[in-house]
Structures are given as C-alpha cells and as structure tokens.
Amino acid sequence: MKRNVFQKQSESEIDEPAVTTPVPDTTAEVNTKIPIHEKPAGALTDVINLVNINQVYSEHTPPNVVFKDFNLDIKDIKDEGQFITIMGKSGCGKSTLLRYISGLQVPTSGDVYIYGKKRTDKDRIPMVFQQYTSFEWKTVLQNVALPLVLNGVPKNEANEKAMEMIKIVGLDGHENKWAKYPTLSGGQLQRVAIARNLVVNPQILLMDEPFGALDTITRKQIQVFLRSIFENAKIDPTIIFVTHSESEAVFLSTDIFILDSGPANIRHQFKIDLPQVRNDSVRYSNDFTEYVNKLGSLMEDLKNEV
Ligand SMILES: Nc1ncnc2c1ncn2[C@@H]1O[C@H](COP(=O)(O)OP(=O)(O)OP(=O)(O)O)[C@@H](O)[C@H]1O
Ligand SMILES: [Mg+2]
C-alpha cells in the first residue's frame, strides 16, 4: 500500500498534542506534553489489546454494567493499514471503548495495551469527535498548528507543517479564516479537526461519529477524502472509527466489528473485501450493496433484541 500522509517519525520527534479536541472532558489536557505511540520495528506486536475490561456505574440501581470481562485484540498486519469500524446500538459502549484507547477514560478494572505496552496516564491517542471542536477564536492555521506549537515546535516550522496539512485536507485559501461556523461550513470545520489530529502523524487515529452532523453530500465527499488519506498514508495506520451509518462503514472499512450490549461483547466481526482504492463508483457495485444489506440485517437483528 502506498502511503504519503501518515509519516513515520523517530521516537524523539513524536509528541501527541493532547489538544486533539477541546471538548469539556479533554480541556484539562490541553497544556500537557504527551508522547504518542510509534509502531515498533521488527516483530509484529498487536496494535491494541483491551484485557479483562470491566465498567460498572454503581450509582445506578441496579448498577449499569457496560463492560464485563471484555477483551479485544487488534492485531498488526504486515504492510497493511487497518480501517476498523465499530458499530452497535446506542449506549452499548462504543464511545467508551474509544475513550479507553485514547486515554480519556480508565475502566473500572482491566488494562489497555498499545503496541504491547501497558498504557499510562501520560499516553494519548488522537481522537476526532462528532462535535466541531476547533478553537473558534483562532484561525484555521492556528488551530492546525496548535498541537505542534504546544509541543515546542518553533512557530515558523509549525505553520509550515500545518499549511501542508491544510492543503491535504483541501482547505488551502481558508487558512486565515476563523475556525467557526458559519465562517466555515460543517464539513470544512470537520476537516480542520482532522487536520489538527493528522498534523502529528499519528500511527493510531480514533474517530467517534465524526461525520454524524454533516449533510449527505458533504458526508459522502468527506468519506472519499478520509479513505484516500488512509489509502495513501506512508505508514500503516490503524484507524478506529465509530458510526451508525451502514453505508459509511462499508465504504470506509477494512474490518467491521459489531458490539452487542448489556454488557458489551463483540457479536460479529468481518472483513470488507472491496477494492483498496475506493471512489464514489464503489458505492454502485453489487458487492457494496450486498455488504450494506448484510450489515443492515445484522444491525436490525440487534435492534430487535431487548
Ligand atoms: N458517567 C456515567 N455515568 C453513568 N453511566 C454512564 C456514564 N458514562 C457512560 N455511561 C453509560 O455507559 C454506556 C455506554 O455509553 P457510550 O457513550 O459508550 O455508548 P455509545 O455506544 O457510544 O452510544 P451512542 O451510539 O449513543 O453514542 C451507556 O449506557 C451510558 O449511559
Ligand atoms: Mg457514542
């Protein structure tokens, strides 16, 4: 797979911004300098392991058990990126799962390993959220450069790298606009959030319903754009994506995991064997329709369960 966006970095260069998103539960992290994980050289190590995860909210009667002895292994595949989409009923624990991986939440008990190392409080994996999460009082350029600036990259160099990323996400010419609605459209604001997360060249990227607020046409365009970033990345990224849209899941993914709930378990797991390069024409193929129908029927079965 040819790649040109996610660039492998040396350990010393890698600094996760910790400012991936200024939503309320992450603002405390904004000024922290935090290392990002790098894929280890040599033998394959699992990308992520969730081991014996339990999540209980005991303030509820009866307690809300979201995860009970939950395990998940995301294996590394030699020379291949992975685009894994997690689906499941509302409230089953998808966002919680991403928060464990990102480091925004720790489970009641259990461990999270990233590339074979137990994660610590200082580890962060970038995450793109559904809400537009840019700093409205900063320009597009300042938003995208911010993770670099916070991590000590000199301003000129940070701006230069940010501009490269702004071009990649197709916001060239908008760099000096305020990153707020309606100065930028919803789709453009989501591109700013994606650019801000990609500018640090993450090996693993988490996306929680990032396109949920977009209109159908913009959503399809941004899916094509995200998929092309994945297809063309220089390293083998692992993207973990959450959506409620079956066609979005099929269009983007290499793998789909379906969670059931109460407590959450992986009910189904399957590969999407569509062409590596996916443009809009893929959506009209029989294989695409078959996958969407299959997924739709599995989701329908879940919804019909109490
Ligand atoms: N602080 C909390 N206190 C009590 N329950 C909580 C808390 N945070 C999350 N939960 C519960 O954890 C469960 C999983 O929530 P989560 O947000 O992960 O679901 P989800 O699968 O992402 O749902 P959706 O598809 O609607 O986004 C839900 O039942 C939710 O009510
Ligand atoms: Mg959620």
**First vs last Cα of the chain: how many Å apart?**
43
**262 CA distance to ligand 1 centroid (A)?**
11
pLDDT in tens, 18-31: 333 333 333 323 32
Pick the ligand that lies closest to the CA of residue 262.
1
The C-alpha atoms of residue 131 and residue 23 are separated, in whole angstroms, by: 8
Q: Which residue CA neighbors atom 29 of ligand 1 most closely?
A: 91
Pocket flag, ligand 1, residue 299 (CB < 6 Å): no
Output the DSSP codes for 151-169.
TT--HHHHHHHHHHHHHHT
Which tens digits make up the pLDDT trace of 90-113? 999 999 999 999 999 999 999 999
Domain boundaries, the chain: 11-304
Candidate of 64, 105, 106, 303 to mutate for ligand 1, largest count of ligand atoms within 8 Å of Cβ: 64
**Residues 56 and 212: beta-carbon distance below 8 Å:** no
Q: Is 64 in the pocket of ligand 1 (CB under 6 A)?
A: yes
pLDDT > 90 in the chain, percent: 63
Around ion ligand 2, which residues have CB less than 5 A away?
95
CA 209–ligand 1 middle distance (angstroms): 14
Which residues sit opposite 17 in a β-bridge? Answer: none
Instruction: Give per-residue pLDDT as tens, 41-74.
Output: 666 789 999 999 999 999 888 899 999 999 999 9
Q: What is the pTM of this model?
A: 0.87
Q: Dump pLDDT digits (tens) for 174-225.
A: 999 999 999 999 889 999 999 998 888 888 999 999 999 888 998 999 999 8
Report the pLDDT value the prediction gives residue 168, as an integer from 0 to 100: 86
- Topology of the domain covering 11-304: Rossmann fold (3.40.50)
Ligand 1 atom closest to the Cα of residue 259 is: 21
Q: Is 66 in the pocket of ligand 1 (CB under 6 A)?
A: yes
